[in-house]
Copies of this chain bind each other. A is one copy, B any other.
Amino acid sequence: MTNIRTVTVLGTGVLGSQIAFQAAYSGFEVTAYDINAEALEGARERFALLAETYIAEVEGAPKTGGAAEVVSGTSGKAAATLTSLTLSANLAAAVANADLIIEAVPENLDIKRDTYRQLAKLAPAKTIFATNSSSLLPSDMAEFTGRPEKFLAMHFANRIWVHNVAEVMGTPLTDPATVATVMEFATEMGMVPVEIKKEKAGYLMNSLLMPLLGAASNLLVAGIAEPADIDKVWRISMGAPRGPFELFDMIGLMTPYNIGINGPNPEFARYLKEHYIDKGKLGMSTGEGFYKYPKP
């Protein structure tokens, strides 16, 4: 058992709010920080939605052989989690007693470095820092933390309560004891932890996913087959729940557009812009992408 009890999550976007909720749901004392009252208002809404989702999908998950039993939300653990979360726009107060800070601020190296410069001064010496950055390497931030031996990356997947994997990746300066503590903490917060032995952009998850999505987009742009047919082949031949274009819709089409337009394959980005983005079809979040969805 680790001696981590208090966890502060910086940033309450899609993943930040899920990480905070899941940690609190698992019994940790969690503070969610964001930059101002408006951002925290958004966080409150996300947490309320997460509580509903946990009630339906975690606590009300179908029992073996039976129909779904939905546990009442008013007395359940998800509802209790909602009231246990502390929200704060005061960075000094939010981190003053943190055993672990999980940083999920916007994916921009300057913003992250500036955050670590502040944390280096504000957080107590005991605090471990973990970045949830998807595309940046922790080595590019380590020197700003003031404690590179207590700094690493801890990467989560979207829909953390289902896709409960945590990729833990140190830098050459990270103390192995820090890695061990964070691996154990990950288990305590309900994750399956996986250690990455050398720094790798995209960790394991995106290193595997990006080539699959790239291959699918090449098939589409080359006119080999339709998105629904490509997805069908992948789902049936692999037994996978979703095909690549269903994944694009979940991720949102602006992400592959932004990655692709200045990347090695701008053709797919142009295809996305012309056929979808310019028509307001950005994926699941807008009700339509490669597929149509019920409005959220």
Contact = CB atoms under 8 A, between A and B. Distances in A.
A125 interface: no
B232 A242 contact: no
Given A197-B224, A239-B241, A204 B219 contact: yes
A254 B119 CA distance: 52
A57 interface: no
A283 B233 CA distance: 24
A167 B233 contact: yes
Contacts of A167: 233
Contacts of A165: 232-233, 236-237
Interface string A207-218: 111111011101
Contact of A242 (B210, B222, B239): B239
A207 B215 CA distance: 7
A74 B65 CA distance: 29
Given A165-B233, A194-B229, A219 B240 contact: no
B239 A162 contact: yes
Contact of A211 (B157, B195, B215, B222): B215
Contacts of A157: 236-237
Interface in A259-289: none
Interface string A186-198: 0000001011111
A228 to B, nearest CB: 9
A26 B167 CA distance: 46
A225 B204 contact: yes
Contacts of A233: 165, 167, 194, 203-205, 208
A200 interface: yes
A223 interface: yes
A242 B214 CA distance: 20
A294 interface: no
Nearest to A157: B237
A50 to B, nearest CB: 19
Contacts of A244: 208
A230 interface: yes
Interface of A: 65-66, 157, 162-165, 167, 192, 194-198, 200, 203-205, 207-212, 214-216, 218-219, 222-226, 229-230, 232-234, 236-242, 244
14 contacts: A65-B66, A157-B236, A165-B232, A165-B236, A196-B224, A197-B223, A200-B224, A204-B230, A204-B233, A205-B233, A205-B234, A209-B237, A238-B242, A240-B241
Given A164-B236, A165-B233, A204-B219, 5 more contacts: A194-B225, A207-B219, A207-B224, A212-B212, A240-B240
Q: Which 7 A-B pairs have the closest CB atoms?
A: A211-B211, A165-B236, A204-B233, A157-B237, A211-B215, A239-B241, A194-B229
